[in-house]
Structure 1
Amino acid sequence: MSFETGRGRSLPVRWLITLGILTLMGMGLLLLSRRPPSPSPTLTEGTLPSSSPTLSAPPALRDLCALEMLPRIHAPYFEGLIPFEQSAIAWFGQVSPTRNYTDIRVGYNARELFIYLAIFDRHLWYDENPTPQTLTQWDAATILLDTSGGDRLSLSSWRFVAQLYSEPSPSRRNVERGSAEGWKPIHVPFNAVPGWRGNALNDDRESDRGWAIGFTIPFSSLGLTSAPPEGTIWRLAVRVHDRDSIEDPSLEETSWPPSASPDDPSCWGFLHFGLPAYHATAVPTGYIRIRRPVRSSPLVPDANVGGTTSNQCPGDEYYIWNEWGNRNDGHAPDFNIQNQSDVADWPCFAKYYVTFPLDAIPRGKTIISATLTLHQFGNAGDPGQARPSWIQVLIASADWDEEAITWNNAPLAYENVGGAWVDPLLEWPGWPGVPRTWDVSYAVAQAYARGEPLRLILYSADSAYHSGKYFVSSDTEDWNTEGRPLLEVWWGESH
């Protein structure tokens, strides 16, 4: 892999991306008209439409959450280079003056595993005279893997550590292998390329934004001849180490999963090779459309967290470190989904949470397929600046409150389940906007089997500037009911 790094720059992706200074995302397409659409049904049940999907036979759903609902990342496989913006996305931590937040991106090809961390951090410090034992006392990251998927340290357990620096440095990397007696040093090839954005490393000015590091771990270094077969499950944990001054000791570490212990693989999450797939064979018998019927209804709560359409890219340093992560936007009429490779622009990043009730689906049925539809009305950037976004769908790990959800308290993702490309709009499309769809069959089948609502998160692993995509929320005015998020589910009888 090749990355470009330098002073005051964020880690680019495999192809070289020139990073500029913090770019404020424009609203792009303006809200030019508000014509009420014709009314449409909101929560209806009927016969299966003739155009419904026909799906082939399913394997039984694999229960991947046997241990306390520990989260998992489904890593997509790629031929050749690993596209940065299509890597699986996950995250952990919080934004504050003394706490770090981290986005995780994961992908793999036949030769190597790619794990990229983008870390929001106000003070960037590295060790001028590092040793393997002191790497984690400064800004650094640890990747923990167990290739057997086991719950105890063994020869299948690996610990890869890399410290922030201005350029790749072997003296700031270390790898250890597990054993019954604990971790032991070992020399195997891997790479960890850092990058950063801010005033300067190792200074006391409070004007840094964060740093990033891309790990590439050859499968040959783990004793494998090639990538694991699709469906293989390993253990994975990520730990981010933080130091905010030269005099004070390192601060509390943050981890994915939050309870991860470096010496106990039973508390690590799961790394599943390949995206989940769902297929069902059943005689179609039912169909339902679920969306909020009127604005005052509590049905289908949704919320935007982070750089929302009304709060994009704020530049005040006090605000972004102290208030940005604690802002609630549970009742905005629209929302933004946004990410990019330049970690300096994290005040522009935004996620979307939405919950659909499934109790109107009769019990004892087989979910055949399900589709989420959102209506896009605009995007960040001036015409010609925006790029397509691979917007990912994830399952939330817990319930949340529309009145109180924020970037900092929103539940983490339990697992990623797929995605869809969303193109930028070249002109104002008129209301209700342009429908964009995602296959959420796997997620609905999982939630239905557990007797729970469908709790989704949408986020992206974008690389380019101006990546924000704007959609209509459940809280839009009643004249725009058709633009509200819509879940369609088809079910049937198994034989």
Structure 2
Amino acid sequence: MWPFLTARPRPFLPLLALLSLALLLTTQPPAQEAAASTAAPRQINIPRFTGSTFASEETAVLWFGQVDHAANYADVRLGYNDDKIKVTLHIFDEHLWYDTSPTANTLTQWDAATLYLHKTAAGSGSPNASSYRFDAQLTHFEARPAYQKAYRGSSGAWTAVSIPFDTTVEWRGDAPNTPGGDRGWLISFNIPFASLGASAPAAGTEWRLGLALHDRDDAAGPPNPTQTWPEALNSQQPSAWGILHFGMPAYTPPLATPGGRLTLRHGLHGTTVVDAPVGGGTMCGDPAAPGYFGQWGSLNYAGDATANVQNQWDVADWPCFSKFYVSFPTTSLPAGKVILSASLRLHLFGSASPGDAQPSLLQVFELADPWDEASLTWNNAPLAQENVAAAWVDPAAFPGWPGIPYDWDVTRAVAAAHAAGEPVNLALYSADGAYHSGKYFSTSEAGDWNAVARPTLIIEWGEPVAITYDWHAYLPAVRADN
């Protein structure tokens, strides 16, 4: 935005007069920047921790992959502190296999994961000195050094480098390299900033991030197809990776005067709100028991009046993990208005084993892809576009209807949806570590007698304040002396 320009009149300054007149004739307010021609990349906003402890429930979380006999799925927890970035993948995998005689070139031909980092926001067209790749494979009990390798970009290719980093592995199930069934495994990457030639980034800094999940289901192979985040990850093109944002972005609305409040809830003033849980629901995916891998990822809960949000560190219990998806229309929101604030409100009416449970930091995610309640499942549900809000929810026994209200600040997501003329599509999930983390909420299927418990979006909107440009030119007074 151009600043308000003025020049004080002074005698005998004809040059100033000419310059001011030129500004008046030629200077215009800046044109609006053209919209980007490509879809926005997926983004994860990660918290900064003090000290050496990364509390699982406070990390950011993203997810990708599928759950079935051949494919794998991963929850990814991320955070950083003054010294390092930590990335942990919790992987649902029915068959765990690793190489007992590993080589650097074959690490990713077994159960393994790859972490990609690039130290600029724009990325690059090929790997360069700002690009890093970390490969690491599953193990049973072996020492880790032979099962991990670091690479750095150089002249458009990946070159092996010896830099300090470490990985840790856990697994759950029969055991790796056996024909018995397993539940999964997890791997944590601990990458010191010093190894990247950097210090802890300031809040608001953006890098590029990519993840790859490698899978093998027997000793003979071959490896199964690799799954990635983002979906179209190109390991040779950092500019096509996702955005790693350090800290949580803030939202500052444009100048506006208060205009009104809009409350969106299913059935209120004819509004239709669509929502559905995915995953294990409140019964830990019981219809898919006992094997789970064959059916769990395809369970649909359309019409269910209860949503469970649940996660935990122990990957063995993934059949209980659950997310909640909800979509609010924006057609009743007046066009051209400024979103001053917006809150998502859910009503908690219970939790899993409330006497043993811990508080959960439930996270809200903005979605960019459409979905259909009638067919929504864990395997086809949209990935998060960006994590936009979080709020602590305490465990509770049944408190009576409508339950305990909890609010999340989703102003940024609503403002973006309103600007695009799209519905507000959201998902809820957590990065919980503790057992018994399930939190139960009413959905839009709650009966009319309990309508207030349905998911609600409360929007405060305003009238935009016009910004005008007031341009002046002052000509000097000239005194003619006889």
TM over 0.5: yes
Query: What does 1:192-207 align with in structure 2 at a 5 Å threshold?
Result: 192-205=167-180, 207=181
The aligned residue for residue 190 of structure 1 is 165
Q: Does the 8 A contact of 2:97 with 2:177 survive in 1?
A: yes
Q: Does the 8 A contact of 2:152 with 2:159 survive in 1?
A: yes
Opposite residue 145 of structure 1, the aligned amino acid is L
**Residue 309 (structure 1) aligned to one of 279, 282, 285:** 282
The aligned residue for residue 337 of structure 1 is 309
Assess, with a 3 A threshold, how the Cα gap between structure 1 residues 237 and 64 changes in structure 2: closer, same or farther.
Answer: farther
CA deviation vs aligned residue, 1:403-435 (integer Å, no higher than 9, x gap): 11000001110000120000001x321111111
CA deviation vs aligned residue, 1:130-157 (integer Å, no higher than 9, x gap): 0110100100000011112313211100
Opposite residue 95 of structure 1, the aligned amino acid is V
1:267 Cα deviation from its structure 2 partner: 2.3
1:363 Cα deviation from its structure 2 partner: 1.2
Distance in 1 between the 2:324 and 2:170 partners?
28
1:289 aligns with 2:263: yes
Opposite residue 185 of structure 1, the aligned amino acid is A
Q: Does the 8 A contact of 2:288 with 2:295 survive in 1?
A: no
The aligned residue for residue 398 of structure 2 is 428
The aligned residue for residue 233 of structure 1 is 206
Task: Give the stretch that moved more between structures: 178-187 or 415-424.
Answer: 178-187
CA deviation vs aligned residue, 1:447-482 (integer Å, no higher than 9, x gap): 111111100000000000000000000011111111
Assess, with a 3 A threshold, how the Cα gap between structure 1 residues 459 and 66 changes in structure 2: closer, same or farther.
Answer: farther
CA deviation vs aligned residue, 1:65-124 (integer Å, no higher than 9, x gap): 874232111111122222211111110000000000011111111111011100000000
Q: Does the 8 A contact of 1:276 with 1:418 survive in 2?
A: no
Task: Give the stretch that moved more between structures: 333-342 or 151-160.
Answer: 151-160
Q: Does the 8 A contact of 2:46 with 2:59 survive in 1?
A: yes
1:141 aligns with 2:105: no
Opposite residue 360 of structure 2, the aligned amino acid is S
Assess, with a 3 A threshold, how the Cα gap between structure 1 residues 483 and 493 changes in structure 2: closer, same or farther.
Answer: same
Distance in 1 between the 2:203 and 2:44 partners?
13
Structure with more of its chain in helix, by fraction: 2
The aligned residue for residue 172 of structure 1 is 147
**Residue 458 (structure 1) aligned to one of 405, 414, 428:** 428
How many equivalent residue pairs?
A: 428
Distance in 1 between the 2:64 and 2:286 partners?
21
CA deviation vs aligned residue, 1:333-387 (integer Å, no higher than 9, x gap): 1110000000000000000000011111111111100011100000011x42111
Assess, with a 3 A threshold, how the Cα gap between structure 1 residues 394 and 65 changes in structure 2: closer, same or farther.
Answer: farther
Opposite residue 57 of structure 2, the aligned amino acid is E
Opposite residue 289 of structure 2, the aligned amino acid is D
- Look up the SS of the partner of 2:365 in the other structure: strand
1:262 Cα deviation from its structure 2 partner: 1.4
**Residue 449 (structure 1) aligned to one of 412, 419, 444:** 419
Assess, with a 3 A threshold, how the Cα gap between structure 1 residues 346 and 298 changes in structure 2: closer, same or farther.
Answer: farther
**Residue 87 (structure 1) aligned to one of 46, 59, 74:** 59
The aligned residue for residue 476 of structure 1 is 446
The aligned residue for residue 395 of structure 1 is 366
1:247 Cα deviation from its structure 2 partner: 1.0
In structure 2, stretches of 5+ residues that fail to align are 1-32, 466-482
Task: Give the stretch that moved more between structures: 350-359 or 273-282.
Answer: 273-282
Distance in 2 between the 1:337 and 1:306 partners?
9
The aligned residue for residue 134 of structure 2 is 160
1:170 Cα deviation from its structure 2 partner: 0.5
Q: Which has the larger radius of gyration?
A: 2
The aligned residue for residue 328 of structure 2 is 356
Opposite residue 445 of structure 2, the aligned amino acid is D
- Look up the SS of the partner of 2:157 in the other structure: coil
**Residue 114 (structure 1) aligned to one of 74, 86, 89:** 86
1:199 Cα deviation from its structure 2 partner: 0.5
Distance in 1 between the 2:226 and 2:252 partners?
40
Assess, with a 3 A threshold, how the Cα gap between structure 1 residues 311 and 85 changes in structure 2: closer, same or farther.
Answer: closer
Task: Give the stretch that moved more between structures: 154-163 or 226-235.
Answer: 226-235
Using CA pairs under 8 Å that are at least 6 residues apart, name the structure with larger relative contact order, 1 or 2: 1
Q: Does the 8 A contact of 1:91 with 1:413 survive in 2?
A: yes
Distance in 2 between the 1:404 and 1:428 partners?
30
Query: TM-score, with normalisation over the residues of structure 1?
Result: 0.84
Q: Does the 8 A contact of 1:313 with 1:348 survive in 2?
A: no
1:181 Cα deviation from its structure 2 partner: 3.9
In structure 1, stretches of 5+ residues that fail to align are 1-61
Assess, with a 3 A threshold, how the Cα gap between structure 1 residues 405 and 243 changes in structure 2: closer, same or farther.
Answer: same
1:257 aligns with 2:197: no
**Residue 243 (structure 2) aligned to one of 256, 264, 270:** 270
Distance in 1 between the 2:37 and 2:438 partners?
36
Q: Does the 8 A contact of 1:294 with 1:478 survive in 2?
A: no
Distance in 1 between the 2:190 and 2:284 partners?
35
Assess, with a 3 A threshold, how the Cα gap between structure 1 residues 238 and 364 changes in structure 2: closer, same or farther.
Answer: same
Assess, with a 3 A threshold, how the Cα gap between structure 1 residues 404 and 298 changes in structure 2: closer, same or farther.
Answer: farther
Distance in 2 between the 1:196 and 1:269 partners?
28
Q: Does the 8 A contact of 1:313 with 1:345 survive in 2?
A: no
| Aligned-pair identity (%) | 49
CA deviation vs aligned residue, 1:184-228 (integer Å, no higher than 9, x gap): 0101111110100000110112x200000111111000001x211
Distance in 1 between the 2:157 and 2:310 partners?
41
Opposite residue 161 of structure 2, the aligned amino acid is I
Distance in 2 between the 1:444 and 1:373 partners?
14
Assess, with a 3 A threshold, how the Cα gap between structure 1 residues 313 and 84 changes in structure 2: closer, same or farther.
Answer: farther
Opposite residue 236 of structure 2, the aligned amino acid is D
